[in-house]
């Protein structure tokens, strides 16, 4: 007889659940099914099969009560697939976590309150973000801002009345979002527009970086270096396909993992862009361009530069591919596949047209002006990515968030956060100071 340990892991879990069902009577299972369908608090505690296997009836009872816990576990031991199947597009999990955070705050358990508030976003909002973003990006932004303000109130030890008032404001936003998600499920036009805008929005930043690098190398008469740029973005697309396969068939990409990946890649790209922008601006003020190109630039573009070319191209594209994959995965699950593919194709056509226009325009620019314009573009992108990187790490809980009353402009990476805005101001100040010093040196040597 084959031993239990010799079975594949999936078979061991299947056998364990099969045996577990004999511990419950049919009436207990029936009662548990009603609890599972009607009790949002229970569903909020068990959102994955991994969570179900790690949660005991006693653990669940501490959060939802003894009777609901016993009934729900009886049903789930017989029908564990319900955890995966029962995933309505609602913010019930986020509501539950916020209520628990409020209770913990009232009990002076400030650390638990902060952890639950972060979980409310990562476990309750983040999974729905791709779907909502395709329907109402502005509403998603208001929800993210309100959630950030809630965490900021917790960290500043605000009064319980302020906490409760913020919870009510967030709940109103959740109701609005629930309505958007429930009424737009079968809208082919919304699916097309969502698919189109996702690709255009997420792809434009990466396109600007890659096109600027390609145009720069053409101006520098270094076509041999183009292969590093192309290897970077092609590698990013290939890794994106692997990421999609992993996220679809192997493991779920958690909200925290997603935000950390986006945050760190954004900050890395911002640092590289900052250094490249400063260097390009310095050369734009040097004069004698043809002599510089032929005598200096070839030596400057060495193996180290090739590595940075590859790294920047790879990171700039992969950070966008990573988020785009998650958006499209959520959109695909809602059906309207023809509309989704149509939006994807339309977005690709527009991006290709933009790339062609930018490359043609840059080819006509005098080399001095090209470097000056490119340095300004790269500098702006560095500021944008800095804001986005800090904001993403705040949403993952890596950086504290102090909410301030400023506009939120996603395209420019501007968020109502003192840390994110402060980091952007510092980077902008460094750029202005560096550009001013470059101009001063150029005047002194002219």
pLDDT at 288: 47
Lowest mean pLDDT, pick from 6-15, 214-223, 259-268, 310-319: 6-15
Query: For residue 249, is pLDDT > 60?
Result: no
**DSSP-assigned letter for residue 294:** I
The boundaries of every CATH 1.20.120 domain in the chain are 92-183
Query: For residue 4, is pLDDT > 70?
Result: no
pLDDT at 289: 46
Instruction: Compute the average pLDDT of residues 68-90.
Output: 71
Name the most confidently modeled range: 57-71, 173-187, 284-298, 302-316: 57-71
**DSSP-assigned letter for residue 149:** H
pLDDT at 434: 84
Query: For residue 106, is pLDDT > 70?
Result: yes
Q: How confident is the model at residue 323 (pLDDT cuts 50, 70, 90)?
A: confident
d(CA 31, CA 37): 10
Which residues 6+ apart lie within 8 Å of 398 measured at CB? 260, 263
Helices marked H in 79-136:
82-85, 92-106, 110-124, 129-135
pTM above 0.75, yes or no: no
Asked whether 163 and 154 are in contact (CB, 8 A), the reply is yes
Instruction: Compute the average pLDDT of residues 29-33.
Output: 80
Name the most confidently modeled range: 100-114, 191-205, 430-444: 100-114
pLDDT at 340: 82
Instruction: Compute the average pLDDT of residues 24-43.
Output: 76
Instruction: Compute the average pLDDT of residues 288-292.
Output: 48
d(CA 271, CA 275): 6
Q: How confident is the model at residue 181 (pLDDT cuts 50, 70, 90)?
A: confident
Per the rule left: phi > 0, alpha: psi between -120 and 50, beta: everything else, 30 is alpha
Q: Could you name the CATH architecture of 92-183?
A: Up-down Bundle (1.20)
Instruction: Compute the average pLDDT of residues 88-94.
Output: 73
Residue 363, CA atoms < 13 Å, CB-side half-sphere: 8
Query: For residue 141, is pLDDT > 80?
Result: yes
* pLDDT-above-70 percentage for the chain: 74
d(CA 114, CA 104): 9
């Amino acid at each position: 007889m084959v031993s239990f340990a010799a079975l594949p892991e999936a078979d061991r879990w299947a056998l364990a659940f099969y045996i577990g069902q004999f511990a419950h009577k049919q009436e207990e299972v029936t009662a548990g099914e009603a609890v599972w369908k009607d009790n949002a608090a229970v569903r909020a505690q068990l959102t994955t099969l991994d969570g179900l296997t790690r949660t005991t009836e006693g653990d669940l009872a501490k959060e939802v009560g003894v009777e609901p816990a016993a009934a729900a576990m009886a049903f789930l031991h017989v029908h564990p697939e319900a955890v995966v199947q029962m995933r309505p597009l609602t913010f019930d999990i986020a509501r539950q976590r916020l209520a628990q955070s409020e209770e913990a705050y009232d009990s002076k358990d400030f650390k638990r309150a902060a952890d639950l508030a972060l979980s409310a976003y990562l476990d309750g909002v983040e999974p729905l973000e791709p779907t909502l973003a395709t329907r109402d990006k502005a509403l998603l932004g208001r929800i993210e801002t309100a959630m950030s303000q809630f965490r900021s109130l917790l960290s500043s030890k605000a009064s319980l009345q302020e906490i409760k008032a913020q919870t009510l404001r967030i709940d109103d936003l959740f109701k609005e979002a629930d309505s958007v998600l429930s009424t737009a499920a079968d809208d082919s036009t919304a699916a097309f527009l969502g698919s189109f805008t996702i690709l255009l929005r997420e792809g434009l930043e990466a396109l600007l970086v890659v096109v600027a690098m390609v145009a720069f190398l053409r101006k520098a008469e270094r076509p041999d270096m183009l292969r590093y740029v192309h290897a970077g973005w092609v590698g990013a697309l290939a890794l994106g396909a692997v990421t999609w396969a992993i996220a679809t068939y192997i493991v779920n990409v958690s909200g925290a993992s997603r935000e950390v990946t986006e945050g760190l890649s954004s900050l890395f790209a911002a640092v590289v862009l900052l250094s490249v922008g400063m260097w390009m601006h310095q050369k734009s003020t040097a004069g004698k361009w043809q002599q510089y190109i032929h005598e200096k630039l070839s030596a400057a573009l060495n193996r180290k530069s090739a590595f940075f070319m590859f790294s920047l191209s790879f990171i700039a594209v992969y950070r966008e591919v990573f988020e785009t994959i998650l958006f499209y995965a959520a959109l695909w699950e809602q059906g309207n596949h023809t509309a989704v593919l149509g939006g994807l194709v339309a977005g690709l056509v527009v991006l290709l047209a933009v790339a062609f226009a930018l490359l043609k325009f840059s080819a006509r620019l005098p080399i001095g002006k090209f470097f000056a314009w490119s340095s300004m573009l790269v500098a702006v992108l560095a500021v944008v990515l800095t804001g986005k990187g800090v904001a993403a790490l705040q949403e993952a809980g890596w950086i504290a968030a102090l909410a301030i009353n400023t506009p939120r402009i996603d395209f420019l990476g501007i968020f109502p956060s003192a840390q994110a805005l402060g980091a952007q101001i510092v980077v902008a100040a460094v750029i202005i100071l560096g550009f001013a010093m470059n101009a001063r040196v150029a005047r002194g040597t002219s």
